[in-house]
Structure 1
Amino acid sequence: MGFLDNLKTKLSPAKDKVGELAQQHGEKIDHGVDKAARTVDEKTKGKYSDKIESGARKAKDAVERLSHKKDEGGAPPPAS
């Protein structure tokens, strides 16, 4: 068994736990991402608004995928 296989095996329980947490606290995570994005946008005076918005959207999508994996037994939702 190679290094990456060993690593995947050891991280599998953590991945499951992250999925559970994303499912339970998805709204709180989304709120935190929005708050962080607003703060960063204010600090940069709107200079990077498009990039910040894009990053926040990707973070929210990742949380949603994690929570759906737990719901659907491992099958991620289709990419939009």
Structure 2
Amino acid sequence: MSFADTLKGLFGKGQQLAADHADTVEDAIDKAGDFIDDKTGGKYAEHVDKAQDAAKKIIPPKQ
């Protein structure tokens, strides 16, 4: 098995885990964004919100 095949396999497993635990992953994304907003006084809230939305979009649907 090549290195690329190994990476593809790990990526597939990661996607499946994210799909299986989508609620937990989304909660973690929200908490991370809230933490950043708190530490920066909301100065970058618009950018943080965009990053949170982008991160949530890549969570695959549960199969």
Question: Runs of 4+ in structure 1 displaced over 3 angstroms?
Answer: none
Q: Deviations over 1:24-62 (max 9, x none)?
A: 111100001001101110110010000000111111111
Q: How many residues align?
A: 62
User: Rg: which structure is higher?
Assistant: 1
Structure 1 counterpart of 2:51, which letter?
Answer: G
TM-score under structure 2 length normalisation:
0.84
Structure 2 spans left out of the alignment, 5+ residues: none
Identity %: 27
Query: How do 1:16-55 and structure 2 match up within 5 A?
Result: 16-55=12-51
TM-score under structure 1 length normalisation:
0.68
Structure 1 spans left out of the alignment, 5+ residues: 1-5, 72-80
Question: For the aligned residues, what is the CA RMSD?
Answer: 1.6
